[in-house]
Amino acid sequence: MLLVCMGNICRSPTAEEVLRVKARQSGLRIEFDSAGTENYHVGDPPDPRSVRHARERGYDLSALRARQVHAADFQAFDLILAADELNLRELRRRCPAEERHRLALFLGDVALPDPYYGESDDFEKVLDLVEKQAAALVSAWTQATE
């Protein structure tokens, strides 16, 4: 599964690591990665605020590095989840028509808010939303494998 936001330094690396941890705790073996639709931060670690807030909840984002979505991602991942409509539209624009069924919003029908220009509470809200959605996804996947 590929998680996608704009710069790949806040929302998508947070979702990547939270999902990885939750899936591992449930005994699921799923490959997770994250990327950005833009190339602003390629090679950079996640935003220090994302790292700090995630660490306070037991998630380690320190090894992650930003990258941009590549054409090969549309075939490599069964599911590509965008943080918001802007990024979903960009993914649809780049994605071959026959692979667009793999694209969706991470939260289903609402945007995961971008905390980049926000305050501490905004990063906490993102973590709350990501943890809730990760729990729901992992539960559904676990039931599907039983």
- All structural domains of the chain: 2-140 (3.40.50.2300)
Q: What is the pLDDT of residue 11?
A: 98
Q: What is the pLDDT of residue 46?
A: 98
Q: What is the pLDDT of residue 26?
A: 95
Residues of the chain with pLDDT under 70: none
Q: What is the mean pLDDT of the chain?
A: 97
Q: Which residues are catalytic?
A: 5, 11, 114
Report the alpha-carbon distance of residue 64 to residue 46 in Å, rounded.
7
Q: What is the pLDDT of residue 107?
A: 98
**Span 5-45, pLDDT tens digits:** 999 999 999 999 999 999 999 999 999 999 999 999 999 99
- Give the list of residues 6+ apart from residue 12 with CB closer than 8 angstroms, or none: 3, 4, 5, 34, 35, 36, 83
Predicted model pTM: 0.96
Q: Is there a contact between 36 and 67 (Cβ–Cβ < 8 Å)?
A: yes
